[in-house]
Amino acid sequence: MSTNNPFLSARSQMQTAYVFLTGRYDAQFPKMMNPERVIEVNIPVKMDSGEIKNFVGYRSQHNGARGPYKGGIRYHQDVTVDEVKALSTWMSIKCATLDLPLGGGKGGIIVNPKELSERELEQLSRGWVQRLYKYLGPLDDVPAPDVNTNGQIMSWMVDEYSRLLGHWTPGTFTGKPLSIGGSLGRDTATAQGGLYVLEAYLKSSNESLKGKKVVIQWAWNAGLNMIELIAKTGAILIGTSDSHGAIYDEAGLDIAHIVELKKNKQALTEYTWGTQITNPELLELECDILIPAALENQITSENVKNIKAKLILELANGPITPDADVVLFSKWIAVIPDILANAGGVTVSYFEQVQNNANYYWSREEVQQKLKLKMETALAGVLKSATEHKVMLRTGAYVVAMERILEAMKMRGE
């Protein structure tokens, strides 16, 4: 993985887009370049061995001009404060791109959750809430699942938050199980939203997914959901990966077998057909559509010259560095950026929050109908902006989003 600083990447992307807004929000723009608040906490956990182990956790609240902070919390051994700051910045941009009345937040704990028992994981999750609950709430900051977190962890967190406040407050966390106020459609929302955008983008050029050769990096969570959705479109999955390695078959992989392996928590090294390759090799396969769905900084100045995809859909956050972005644009490789492509997750999280606050719940069909409309409307605005300014889609999206945020800041007197 590249050593590129993701927060510097986020700042660079904002600076590139602000060129098209210069003079209108010069008083507000400098304030947008840094999070409004970054909190670091120390979380002691009594391990099964009896040892007390301390874990470092973070919450970054980037910009609340348009509404409560919104964003996931990830558990990963490589979490850094700059990563969390970057992700909260991208969440601000993402929410504004989709015109959601939310700001950007992000959290993380430096931990390899695979090394913890279920009891230790629960204590860690409750400990994060105990340290941060004064800064959270349905009108303040609403966390959600991210890398290595899920509905069970959100359940522990919302229970702990409600216990501390003395009353049930489901709207403080999203991505919850249905039994405690989760939304239908949230489990597949990131991938479903990405598919809606991808299909709409192809339709704008009179194309479809049928027969397209697709590579999806990281067959887990959003990536695995996308693999299942892609199977229904007539597209051909020729390559995918997990943390153990990658598999490739020009004729098409057996999607049912891949899904079975991953749902049984088995590695793709157990896949018995095709060719075993490395994750870096996977990104460089010749294909129609490449979908990075892992972590940030996957396509950098070091490997961008080897990218052979015709179109990239960023299902992960920040998988392409700014310098690599410029090279891809010069090679006429279109990139549907993360702040649009993976915004289905935060959109349905917003729907979940709305349902919690109203105590009225929608059907899966209603959720997906509303999600499709949001994603397609956002794509139309981004395409218009990119065409008008003659820039890549990412910059077009940033211009749309930043104008909305900066205008809100200006109207509020910031």
Q: Which residues are catalytic?
A: 106
Residue 23: partners with Cβ closer than 8 Å, 6 or more residues away: none
Q: Which two tokens stand for residue 53?
A: 């182990």
Task: Tally the C-alpha atoms within 13 A of residue 149's C-alpha that lie toward its C-beta.
Answer: 30
Radius of gyration of the chain (CA): 20
Q: What is the DSSP string of 238-259?
A: EEEEETTEEEE-TT---HHHHH
Length of the chain: 414
What distance in Å separates the CA atoms of residue 255 and residue 249, rounded to the nearest whole number?
Answer: 11
What distance in Å separates the CA atoms of residue 177 and residue 138, rounded to the nearest whole number?
Answer: 17
Q: Which two tokens stand for residue 24?
A: 């209108």
Give the bridge partners for 45, in sequence order.
53
Vertex 194, ends 328 and 15: CA angle to 5°? 45
Q: Which runs of E-coded beta strand occur in 65-188?
A: 69-76, 103-110, 141-145
Q: DSSP 3-state assignment of 372? A: helix
Give the bridge partners for 289, in sequence order.
214, 311
DSSP conformation class of 166: T
- How many other β-carbons are positioned within 10 Å of the β-carbon of residue 295? 19
Q: DSSP 3-state assignment of 27? A: coil
What distance in Å separates the CA atoms of residue 250 and residue 344, rounded to the nearest whole number?
Answer: 30
Q: Are 395 and 17 in contact (CB under 8 A)?
A: yes
H helices present in 235-363, as ranges: 255-263, 279-283, 322-330, 338-341, 344-358
Q: Which runs of E-coded beta strand occur in 137-244?
A: 141-145, 213-217, 236-242
Sort 254 into a burial class: Cβ within 10 Å, 0-12 / 13-18 / 19+. Answer: middle
Q: Which two tokens stand for residue 35?
A: 């999070």
